[in-house]
């Protein structure tokens, strides 16, 4: 089964990659919802947060830390930013390969629409 984010992770499709680690890739979202909109994905195909196992806890922690590091590098740590993981239909998930959104550069309303 084809997966667009596996294609990004394996270099089969172009993406504006910011960082690559052994097990993670961070790149810019093609349809930015904020002045800065980054996605952090595991290289391994995990469809949704529902599929995450206890053994993946370190991987999920690394995703958060990488997003934080990029937000710091780009100067958003003090002003703030939002990290979001959507799950399934009601959560607004459209790509079924786990990803963490990092959004910055504008005020994020709460609650989300
Ligand atoms: P979600 O709705 O949480 O599943 O988010 C999927 C995100 O992936 C959306 O914000 C899309 O704009 C983004 N997206 C889809 N295809 C690509 C791609 N090839 N490169 C970068 N971002 C993508
Ligand atoms: Zn995938």
Residue with tokens 């990488």, as numbered in its chain: 66
Asked about 99 being catalytic, the answer comes back as yes
Residue 69 has a pLDDT of 98
Which atom from ligand 1 is nearest to the alpha carbon of 7?
Answer: 19
Closest C-alpha to 37, from 78, 86, 70: 70
Whether pTM > 0.85 for this model: the answer is yes
pLDDT given at position 43: 98
Per-residue confidence (pLDDT) for residue 4, from 0 to 100:
98
pLDDT of residue 85: 98
The answer, yes or no, to whether any atom of ligand 1 lies below 6 A from the CB of 30, is yes
Q: CA 65 to CA 62: how far, in whole Å?
A: 5
Among 37, 45, 99, 101, the active-site one is 99
Spatial distance between the Cα atoms of 43 and 89, rounded to a whole number of angstroms: 23
- pLDDT at site 1: 76
pLDDT of residue 100: 99
Residue pair 104/82 in contact (Cβ under 8 Å)? The answer is yes
Report the CATH number of the 4-104 domain: 3.30.428.10
Tokens of 83: 């990290």
Distance from residue 96's CA to the centre of ligand 2 (Å):
7
Tens-level pLDDT at each residue, the chain (113 residues): 799 999 999 999 999 999 999 999 999 999 999 999 999 999 999 999 999 999 999 999 999 999 999 999 999 999 999 999 999 999 999 999 999 999 999 999 999 87
Nearest atom within ligand 1 for CA of residue 96? 4
């Amino acid at each position: 089964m084809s997966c667009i984010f596996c294609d990004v992770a394996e270099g089969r499709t172009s993406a504006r990659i910011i960082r690559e680690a052994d097990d993670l890739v961070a790149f810019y979202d093609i349809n930015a919802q904020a002045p800065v909109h980054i996605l952090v994905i595991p290289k391994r195909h995990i469809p949704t947060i529902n599929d995450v196992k206890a053994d993946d806890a370190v991987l999920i922690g690394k995703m958060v830390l990488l997003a934080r590091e990029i937000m710091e590098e780009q100067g958003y740590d003090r002003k703030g930013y939002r990290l979001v993981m959507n799950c399934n239909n009601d959560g607004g998930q459209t790509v079924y390969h786990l990803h963490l959104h990092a959004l910055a550069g504008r005020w994020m309303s709460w609650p989300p629409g």
